[in-house]
Structure formats: structure tokens, C-alpha cells
Amino acid sequence: MQTYILPLYSILALLFSMECCFADTVALYDKPMVLSVGMDCCSSQGDKKATACEKCAKKGCMIIKEDGRQKVKAPLGLPNLEVPADNPMTCGKIALGKKLYFDKRLSFDDTVSCATCHDLRLSGTDAGAVSTGINGQKGGRSAPPSINAAYMDTQFWDGRAPTLEEQAKGPPFNPIEMGMPSHDFLVEKLKGIEEYRKCFQKVFGGEITIDNMAKAIAAYERTLLSANSPFDRFRYAGEEDAISELAKVGMGIFVGKGRCITCHQFTASHALFTDNNFHNLGVGMNEEDPDLGRYLVTGKEKDKGAFKTPSLRNIALTAPYMHDGSEHTLEQVVEFYDRGGNPNPNLDGAMMPLNLTPIEEAALVEFMKSLTSSDIPQF
Ligand code: HEC
Ligand code: HEC
């Protein structure tokens, strides 16, 4: 039946595209419950009524009300995601955010979009050890996934942005990333694009501002949720055969001898695979002029060389690894942990040699591969 629905929606989307801001989210309406392609509960009525999303929710879509608050319904293995009260999700806002996320015009020379470094096919990362922005300039850190970033208590490897909204205001003005000279410059550029003028007016009831741009992007990012991996089906849906015997051994090591769960946490109800905290594993600390990570934000000695625990969801898709991309494969990461990390004065107390056997190492890697979701968008 869906094959009939799709063209119908596309036609409606075209008819209503003036209303609904951007038709392409609606054109992606082929799998209503696939969360990671972005918001798809958007009806062709767009943002006409604030309740549009709630209506969609009744039809089994993504935005729900729980405990009187707006939340995004999560796939198996993740908790429903809270939406901040000052940036409610509306269909039009999400569609606008998606448009902005993929738009290279947010960069000075129209060559780089958020998606350039946060490619959804790679779980919202790029394939580089560090990212490349305009004019081929290299940054100092690896791009963390934008998928599931909404679950992070703080944004960036060092946690310097408190919210997705704050985070989204950074990259356009970073001279290495998107290179916009000023807020005014970007606002003027966007005002010159009729589509954006209309859509901001419709979604926010006012002119284009950087704050509203960031709100729209953040709303879109809150739809980039991905779970329901073989691990989730095994752990949270009781599907015994969802992961291999070797992966089950690996899970035992993950929570036991390997002590991985100390930082990459999961609970009886869901798995974020992060403690949302900062730890020094010694990554890069053997360099001449090391990146001091969390210390750059807090100025506290103990935070030197500490970085945010990344989630391990879709980890097989996001090589190379660590904040500086210094480990190329999951096998290398496991060897790194087996050694107890890199010695340095602030090494986290949880880091110590693990004495894993080759089979145990292989099992850990197999376990991590079971964290790849099938809902990663293929477009
Ligand atoms: C040139 C590459 C590049 C571009 C363009 C870029 N990013 Fe990033 N992004 C990065 C890197 C590198 C980091 C990590 C930087 C750090 O930790 O200091 C990052 C961090 C993030 C994070 C934090 C994730 C986490 O878990 O901490 C989010 C969210 C994000 N970017 C979203 C965006 C959005 C939205 C845009 C577009 C407005 C964008 N990025 C543009 C490279 C890029
Ligand atoms: C003390 C807390 C801690 C423990 C224990 C720990 N990790 Fe980590 N993990 C981190 C932090 C922090 C990072 C990022 C470090 C950096 O880049 O400087 C990380 C990074 C990773 C990465 C790379 C992720 C990416 O996106 O680049 C993988 C894979 C990983 N850990 C797997 C494991 C496994 C497997 C174990 C158990 C053998 C383990 N971790 C134990 C905190 C921990």
C-alpha cells in the first residue's frame, strides 16, 4: 500500500509546498516509523496549527506527549527523548532544520554543509581522522556523530556547548569549518533566499535570526535517533538469536572483565552507551602539544586530557576512532584498552591493563558490531 501512498504524498507536498515550507521531508514519507531519516510525521498541512504534530502522533508518529511534556518517541533501546520547553517541535520547524542541515549555502563559499562532516550514512560522522572544512582546511578533532547527539548532556568532545541549540550556532562561524564572517553576514545571505524568508516567517512568525536557525537545526537533530540494533533486539526484545554466540561472549566481557560499561553505560531499560561524563584515557597525550580537552572548558587540572565518553551506537560505521581519529579499527581500540590506555599523570582510575585473550578481544569487537542499527538512512 505504501507504494501508492508515496506518490500521493509527493503530489500533496507539491501542492502544499508553499504552506509546508519544504516538500522534500514529505517526499521521504515512505517509511513512517524510520526515525533516522528525520521527522516524517509532517502532514501536508505543515505548520498550520501547533497541534499538527500531536495529531500525527495519534497516527503512530514520532512526537508524543508524556507526563505533560513533548517527547520524541524513540526506537527500541533508547528512552523517549525530552524536547526542551523553549523549542517545541513542529513539523515546519523540523522540515526547515533539515533543509538548513543539508544546505551548503550556510558556508562562506557554498561548499560545506553540516552533512559534509556529519554524513547520516556514516551515523552522522565523516570518514576522516579530523574534519575538513572550507578551502580544504583541517580541524583538530574528529567529527562525532550527529545521530543520537540529542541524548548527550553536553555537546562537543569537551562539552563546551550545553545544548544542541548552542552547538548549532558554532560551525557556520568557525573559520576552519564553514567560514562565515559574522552573524549579520549569514542572516543577510539567508534573507536573500526567498524560500528561507517565507519559511522562517511561517515557523517562527518573524524574521530570520541566528537563534531561530539554531532552533530549527536542533529540532531536526532531535529526529535523528537510531537504535533497534541486533543488540537492542537481543537485550530489550528478548530475541535470543538476534546476536551471535561470539557477540554474547563479547557482551559478557563488556560488562565484566573489560569494564567498558563503567563509562559506556546501559541499563535494564535502555542503552545510551555513554555516562555523559569526561575521562582521560591518554589519547593524544603522548603528542608534543596535546589537546587538553575538558580542561579548556573548566580550567581544572584533573580535566587535562579528558574527553566526553562517546556513545558506541553504530560504532562500526564511524571509523576512525577517538577524538583525534588515532585508532583506525575497532580491533586497535580494543588493543588500546587492553594496554590500559596511554600513561599520563591524569589517567582515569578505571584504565588498567585488561589481559584479554585474542578470543576475548575478537568477541568484544563482534559485540560492538552488533550495535549497528538497520535504520541508518541510505540516501
Ligand atoms: C568541517 C566539518 C564540520 C562541519 C561543517 C560541521 N561540524 Fe559538527 N562537528 C565537527 C567536529 C570536528 C566536531 C567536534 C568538535 C569538538 O569537539 O571540538 C563537531 C561537533 C558537533 C556536534 C557535537 C556532537 C557531540 O556528541 O558532542 C554536533 C551536534 C554537531 N557537530 C552538529 C553540527 C551541525 C548542526 C552543523 C551545521 C550547522 C555542523 N555540525 C557542522 C565537524 C563539523
Ligand atoms: C574510563 C571510562 C571508559 C572506559 C572504562 C572505556 N571507555 Fe571507551 N571511551 C571513553 C572515552 C572518554 C572515549 C573517548 C576518548 C578520547 O577520544 O580521548 C572512549 C572511546 C571509545 C571508542 C571510540 C569511540 C569513537 O566514537 O571514536 C570505542 C570504540 C570505545 N571507547 C570502546 C570501549 C570498550 C570496548 C571498552 C572496554 C574495553 C571501553 N571503551 C572502556 C571512556 C571509556
- Express as a percent the part of the chain with pLDDT over 70: 83
The three three-digit cell numbers of residue 217, written as one number: 537545526
CA of 12 to the centre of ligand 1 (A): 34
Which ligand is the nearest neighbour of the Cα of 304? 2
Q: What is the pLDDT of residue 95?
A: 82
Q: Cα 375 vs. chain centroid, distance in angstroms?
A: 14
Residue type, 34: V
More confident residue, 93 or 249: 249
**What tens digit of pLDDT does each residue of 330-343 get?**
999 999 999 999 99
C-beta 317 within 6 A of ligand 2: no
Q: What is the pLDDT of residue 298?
A: 97
| pLDDT reading at 14 higher than 80 | no
C-beta 177 within 6 A of ligand 1: yes
Closest listed residue to residue 371, CA positions, set 319, 314, 317, 318: 314
Cβ pair 124, 102 in contact under 8 A: no
Return the DSSP state at 154: S
The three three-digit cell numbers of residue 39, written as one number: 521527522
**What tens digit of pLDDT does each residue of 56-91 get?**
444 445 777 778 888 888 889 999 999 999 998 887
- Residue nearest atom 37 of ligand 1, based on CA coordinates: 114
The b-or-e profile of 8-29 (16+ CB within 10 A means b, else e) is ebbebbeebbeebbbbebbebb
Q: Please, what sign has the CA dihedral across residues 161, 72, 315, 145?
A: negative
pTM: 0.89
Tell me how far apart the alpha carbons of residues 246 and 364 are, in angstroms, rounded to a whole number: 8
CA of 347 to the centre of ligand 2 (A): 13
Which ligand is the nearest neighbour of the Cα of 130? 1
The three three-digit cell numbers of residue 78, written as one number: 533508547
| pLDDT reading at 47 higher than 50 | no
**What tens digit of pLDDT does each residue of 177-200 get?**
999 999 999 999 999 999 899 889
Residue whose CB lies within 8 A of the most ligand 2 atoms, among 154, 280, 312, 355, for a mutation test: 312
Torsion angle of alpha carbons 73, 228, 114, 41, nearest 10°? -40
| pLDDT reading at 231 higher than 90 | yes
- Express as a percent the part of the chain with pLDDT over 90: 72
Please name the residue that has the C-alpha cell 565518553.
309
**What tens digit of pLDDT does each residue of 265-319 get?**
999 999 999 999 999 999 999 999 999 999 999 999 999 999 999 999 999 999 9
In the chain the domains, ranked by start, together with CATH numbers, are 1-226 (1.10.760.10), 230-369 (1.10.760.10)
Active site positions, annotated: 177
Number of residues assigned to the chain? 379
Q: What is the pLDDT of residue 25?
A: 37
- Residue nearest atom 2 of ligand 1, based on CA coordinates: 117
Mean pLDDT for 152-163 is 97
Residue whose CB lies within 8 A of the most ligand 2 atoms, among 337, 344, 368, for a mutation test: 337
Give bridge partners of residue 70 from the DSSP assignment: 65
Q: What is the pLDDT of residue 245?
A: 98
Q: How confident is the model at residue 142 (pLDDT cuts 50, 70, 90)?
A: very high
The three three-digit cell numbers of residue 189, written as one number: 545571505
- Mean pLDDT of all residues in the chain? 85
Which ligand is the nearest neighbour of the Cα of 170? 1
CA of 340 to the centre of ligand 2 (A): 11
Q: What is the pLDDT of residue 71?
A: 87
ω before 320 within 30° of 0 (cis)? yes
Closest listed residue to residue 117, CA positions, set 106, 128, 103: 128
Give CA separation, 189 vs 110, 186, 194, in Å: 11, 5, 11
Tell me how far apart the alpha carbons of residues 20 and 17 are, in angstroms, rounded to a whole number: 5
Cβ pair 48, 123 in contact under 8 A: no
69 phi/psi in degrees, rounded to 5:
-120, 150
For 169-288, strand residue ranges (E) read 278-280
Cβ neighbours for 97, distance < 8 A, ≥ 6 positions apart: 215, 216, 217, 218, 219, 220, 221
More confident residue, 144 or 8: 144
